[in-house]
């Protein structure tokens, strides 16, 4: 039992290695709670999906109302898959892996391929020399200045909100994840994971199309997937793309510091916090990814001094879309207009 009055329990927000030890006390999942969270996410998603299909009888626009909560529960399923990838939903590798693979059929995300890419993201987050795997491409001001006019245009288009949160998620979930891009020569596992997921998705889609028809299937499932995908990319974006995030190069780069200061505390209203699986408490998650998502609020309850680290609110987060370049001198993300003033 941890004594919350002990000085060792509250080492201060800057003592990242001490926090690693403290967070280890929250890493053990509760199997009954994990099963409950899985049930209260999967069952409502299935019911909302079916209700959206039934509602087509009364008009498509009426059915679109149900698409929003259905997409929310699909997003939450992805968060459970995310915990499986860290081995934190059940704390048993086989349980986590097969649950993650099954959920991946619904989220269109090949579990083993994604897990490997996401592990690389966690291992190198905030490291300027190891960008590009499982994260949002972010250039420094100097790197952007060195680009050709065509290269600058391509980067600006890539970082445009319409591409980042609209076209990008659609391409990622519908097309890019159908092949193990980035791991084409990383052995058999990424290929097996991707192809097996594709086959399972095709079988499930074929069954549903046979049962309800291809047009109703697409009218129901496509907007749910696209909306959930856009929301997921948005969450991932604001968890690392905020003004006071942290980037550095070795040997200055340090995993505990980068984890704690390079990820945000996206302080969402309670309903959004629940539907997103507490992923907004991302600084805690990055420092100790084995903590189950439903135990993250316990950490903030017991250690409220962590709540202010990297905190951004819902309104604050909207301004993050303008921050597209890392200023190595100022040690912060800047807008394109600010970057031009520096060049």
Phi then psi for 88, rounded to 5 degrees?
-110, -5
Q: How many of the other CB atoms lie within 10 Å of CB of 207?
A: 11
- 110-144 confidence digits (pLDDT tens): 999 999 999 999 999 999 998 877 788 999 999 99
Identify the domain containing residue 209 by its residue range: 25-342
For the chain, what is the domain count? Answer: 1
User: What percent of the chain clears pLDDT 90, i.e. is strictly above it?
Assistant: 80
Give the H/E segment covering residue 323: strand 323-327
Note the pLDDT tens digit of each residue in 288-333.
999 999 999 999 999 999 999 999 999 999 999 999 999 999 999 9
pLDDT for 259-282, tens place per residue?
A: 889 999 999 999 999 999 999 999
The sheet with strand 139-140 has its strands ordered as 139-140, 323-327, 332-335
Site of tokens 């609110």? 313
pLDDT band at 14 (very low <50, low <70, confident <90, very high): low
Model confidence pLDDT, tens digit, residues 188-200: 989 999 999 999 9
Whether the pLDDT of residue 156 is over 50: the answer is: yes
Does 2 have pLDDT greater than 60? Answer: no
Whether 166 is covered by a domain: the verdict is yes
Contact, 113 vs 180, CB < 8 A? yes
Residue 149 lies in a domain: yes
Q: Is 14 part of a structural domain of the chain?
A: no
Asked whether residue 9 is assigned to any structural domain, the reply reads no
Q: Is there a domain that residue 158 lies in? A: yes
Share of the chain residues as helix, strand and coil, in percent rounded to the nearest 5: 65, 5, 30
CA 340, distance to chain mean position in Å, is 31
Those residues whose C-beta lies under 8 Å from the C-beta of residue 58, and which sit 6 or more positions away, are: none
* Pairing verdict, β 332-335 and 323-327: antiparallel
Domain assignment present for residue 299? The answer is yes
| Bridge partners for 127 per DSSP | 248
Alpha-carbon distance 340 to 330, whole Å? 14
Q: How confident is the model at residue 58 (pLDDT cuts 50, 70, 90)?
A: confident
Residue 11 lies inside a defined structural domain of this protein: no
12 within a domain of the structure (yes/no):
no
User: Nearest CA to 267 among 229, 302, 230, 306?
Assistant: 306
- The more confident residue out of 120 and 81 is 81
pLDDT score recorded for residue 1: 34
> Using CA atoms, how far apart are residues 77 and 329, in angstroms rounded to an integer?
40
């Amino acid at each position: 039992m941890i004594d919350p009055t002990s000085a060792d329990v509250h080492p201060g927000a800057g003592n990242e290695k001490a926090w690693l030890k403290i967070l280890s006390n929250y890493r053990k999942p509760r199997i009954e709670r994990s099963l409950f969270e899985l049930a209260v996410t999967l069952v409502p998603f299935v019911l909302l999906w079916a209700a959206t299909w039934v509602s087509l009888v009364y008009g498509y626009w009426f059915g679109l109302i149900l698409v929003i909560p259905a997409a929310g529960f699909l997003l939450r399923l992805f968060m459970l898959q995310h915990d499986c990838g860290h081995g934190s939903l059940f704390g048993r590798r086989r349980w986590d892996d097969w649950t993650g693979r099954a959920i991946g059929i619904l989220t269109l995300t090949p579990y083993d391929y994604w897990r490997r890419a996401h592990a690389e993201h966690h291992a190198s987050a905030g490291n300027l020399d190891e960008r590009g795997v499982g994260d949002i491409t972010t250039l420094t001001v100097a790197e952007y200045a060195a680009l050709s006019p065509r290269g600058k245009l391509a980067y600006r288009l890539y970082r445009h909100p319409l591409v980042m949160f609209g076209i990008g998620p659609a391409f990622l979930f519908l097309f890019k994840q159908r092949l193990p891009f980035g791991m084409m020569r990383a052995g058999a596992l990424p290929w097996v994971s991707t192809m097996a997921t594709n086959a399972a998705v095709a079988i499930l889609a074929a069954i549903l199309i046979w049962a309800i028809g291809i047009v109703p299937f697409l009218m129901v499932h496509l907007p749910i997937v696209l909306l959930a995908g856009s929301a997921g990319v948005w969450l991932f974006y604001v968890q690392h793309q905020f003004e006071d995030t942290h980037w550095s190069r070795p040997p200055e780069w340090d995993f505990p510091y980068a984890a704690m200061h390079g990820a945000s505390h996206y302080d969402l209203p309670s309903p959004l916090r629940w539907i997103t699986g507490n992923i907004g408490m991302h600084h805690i998650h990055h420092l100790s990814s084995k903590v189950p998502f439903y135990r993250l609020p316990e950490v903030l309850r017991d250690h409220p001094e962590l709540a202010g680290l990297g905190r951004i609110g819902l309104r604050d987060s909207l301004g993050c879309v303008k921050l597209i370049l890392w200023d190595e001198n100022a040690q912060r993300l800047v807008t394109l207009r600010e970057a031009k003033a520096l060049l």
